[in-house]
A and B are shown apart, each in its own frame.
Chain A
Amino acid sequence: AQKVTQAQTEISVVEKEDVTLDCVYETRDTTYYLFWYKQPPSGELVFLIRRNSFDEQNEISGRYSWNFQKSTSSFNFTITASQVVDSAVYFCALSAYNAGNNRKLIWGLGTSLAVNP
């Protein structure tokens, strides 16, 4: 079965703190993709990152970084020096590779992050 677990339902931090959002996935596919999306209060989903199963390199983009570890089936997301604008719901998702584009994304339940001033 394919599944994405975001164990943290809600996280509250004070501005400038670092925060890590956990994502654990299950899949039997050897080729798959992992995603993180941000959903601010406005509702629109914003793509943050895509990682394929063959690329375990960690990625850093500004204050955002991602740690992909196949050994533990985890794809954790860290925000460094958090800001109020980071307040949002963050979703982790898993896509299994198929020929063509009719891939189905399996979504975690989301982690609601509140960054307080």
Chain B
Amino acid sequence: GAVVSQHPSRVICKSGTSVKIECRSLDFQATTMFWYRQFPKKSLMLMATSNEGSKATYEQGVEKDKFLINHASLTLSTLTVTSAHPEDSSFYICSAYYPGGPGELFFGEGSRLTVL
């Protein structure tokens, strides 16, 4: 079945540094990918919709300069957390719809970011 993969699964960084998270669709092409953020024991919050070859669409309240999204190919979207701070520590999850499928989202394994 469709597989979405994220890397890295865990990352620890110092405050002020930037961190890049990759999201790949392994057996299908995804023109659109979605980036979610999940706080402990909380629901998923959609951060942005990543569109291949164009700018991402950010949800209200999400800083686009803070969370840079690049969707340079049909199988890869990246989320870069710039100048990370401890409050950016969270679980970030990407997802994509399988084209032509019944409409369910397939999710990556998630990336847990800890900013010290």
Instruction: Give the B-binding residues of A (Cβ under 8 A).
Output: 33, 35, 37, 42-47, 50, 91, 95, 101-105, 107-110, 112
Contacts and interface: CB of A to CB of B under 8 A. Distances in A.
Contacts, number: 50
Given A45-B93, A101-B31, A35 B43 contact: no
B41 to A, nearest CB: 7
Contacts of B44: 45, 91, 107
Contacts of B43: 91, 107-110
Given A35-B104, A102-B49, A107-B43, A43 B91 contact: yes
Interface string B91-116: 10101010100111111111010000
B13 interface: no
Contacts of A103: 97, 103
B49 to A, nearest CB: 6
A65 B7 CA distance: 34
Given A43-B110, A101-B97, A102-B32, 12 more contacts: A33-B103, A35-B105, A37-B107, A44-B108, A44-B109, A45-B93, A45-B107, A47-B105, A50-B103, A102-B57, A103-B103, A109-B43
Contacts of A104: 46
A89 B110 CA distance: 15
Contacts of A110: 42-43
